[in-house]
Amino acid sequence: MNDAILLFDYDGTVRLGSEHATHYARQVAAHLDADGERAFLAAHAAFVAGKPTTASTFDAYDADNAVRRLAGEFGVPDAIRHEAYVETRKRMAAGEFDVWAPKGLRELLWSLPRGVEVALVTNAPAATLEPVLERLELDGLFDHVIGDAGKPDGLDAIIDELLEERPAEALLSIGDIPRNDLAPAVERGCATAYIDHYGRPWPEATVSGASLEELYPFIHRWVNSTDLRLASAAKKAGSWPASVAERREPSMSQPHPMLENAP
């Protein structure tokens, strides 16, 4: 109860690769006429290449969100778009798309003090997460794996439950979409690490970097300093945590108790 918490986002943070989003875009665009399909796919490809050409994708969060915005722009019903999204995620879980983890992430998680609590929280379908984490060789390295989280609104309750009786400064939220991954943490006084893939600064972040790898030194420093502060407070209160100096042993991922059946 006295150790730090790392809260990781999934897409664009722990899981990288946009091949699946191209498939997703094709499935949605297939419901348009030939001209509309070509325009939709060209706009999505431009976003993935870092050169958005439409107002709807100019500030899209990521390649998946670009599909959602284009679907709205081109008048594809949301039910059709959502069906394509779920089907794409099932295919990802089955191993059909190229995905990878940031270099060194497994080693980072292994190196954490044993008592540090590590959570993975995402809006992606919960049933699709474990197969992908296994492919990424990250299975068993998260204490909590929470899908269908309903971020940003759903992150409020998750943060509160993770913190339990710990102070807000015990949690560091790490992600690439400020609105979904970081803003709820900032509102509670938690630290945040922003992965700025598209060169869109977010001044409220505690730290920013162009990739998760750039943030590893900060994460190590933050964990060590936070554990020391929490341990000092616990020592004064007469509850010194034995786990602070120990190294982490990965365990099988378990959903957070409160959110095991989250929608």
What are the residue ranges spanned by the domains of the chain? 5-15+100-259, 19-93
Tell me, what's the pLDDT at 14? 98
More confident residue, 99 or 248: 99
Q: 227: pLDDT confidence band, cut at 50, 70 and 90?
A: low
Give the pTM.
Answer: 0.87
Give the pLDDT band of residue 165 (cuts 50, 70, 90): confident
Share of the chain above pLDDT 90, in %: 82
pLDDT digits (tens, 9 = 90+) for 135-160: 999 999 999 999 999 999 999 999 99
Q: What percent of the chain has pLDDT over 70?
A: 86
Residue 67 near residue 24, CB atoms below 8 Å: yes
CATH architecture of 5-15+100-259: 3-Layer(aba) Sandwich (3.40)
